[in-house]
Amino acid sequence: MSDVSPLLPPDLDFPEPWRDVRSDPDARDSLELELRREVGAGHPLHGVEVRAMAACDGHCDDVIYELRDGTAVVVHLSYPTDPPDRPPFPFAVSVGDRDELLAVVRSHGA
């Protein structure tokens, strides 16, 4: 996957409580691994290639992932002890376009 997202401008300064992980390969890899660990057969994201873009370091465990097709999802990771969870966990909300994604980023935690 490309490091340049069509949804999130490279110069976007994520407001708190978001943390940009696009240039942090260790954090990005960890979040991508956790999603693969949590997503079981039957979940819409099972087997889907994703790239972690940002993580909420505030009141929740939400992560924005970009999919190979250029769309994005906001996933609430649950960090279960006995993965994978059964659908519909982890909860995932598709984001339709750049404006919707930017609205999610800016309003999250407000």
Reported as a single tens digit per residue, the pLDDT across 57-66 is 877 899 999 9
Q: Contact 32/22 with Cβ under 8 angstroms?
A: no
- pLDDT number for residue 54: 94
Q: Is residue 64 part of a domain?
A: yes
Report yes or no on 72 lying in a domain.
Answer: yes
CA distance 76 to 80: 12
Task: Report if residue 57 sits inside a domain.
Answer: yes
- Residues of the chain below pLDDT 70: 1-6, 83, 109-110
What is the reported pLDDT for 2? 58
**pLDDT tens for each residue of 43-57:** 999 999 999 999 998
Number of domains in the chain: 1
Q: Does residue 56 contact residue 18 with C-beta atoms inside 8 Å?
A: yes
Q: Does residue 98 form part of some domain?
A: yes
Q: How does DSSP classify residue 72?
A: E
pLDDT reported for residue 60: 84
Residue 110 has a pLDDT of 58
- 38: containing domain: 18-107
Which tokens go with 109? 């935690």
Tokens at residue 84, please? 């994978």
Q: What is the DSSP letter of 30?
A: H
Q: Give residue 16's pLDDT.
A: 86
Determine, yes or no, domain membership for 1: no
What pTM was estimated for this model as a whole? Answer: 0.88
Left (φ > 0), alpha (ψ -120 to 50) or beta: where does 109 sit?
left
Radius of gyration for the chain, computed over Cα atoms and rounded to the nearest angstrom = 13
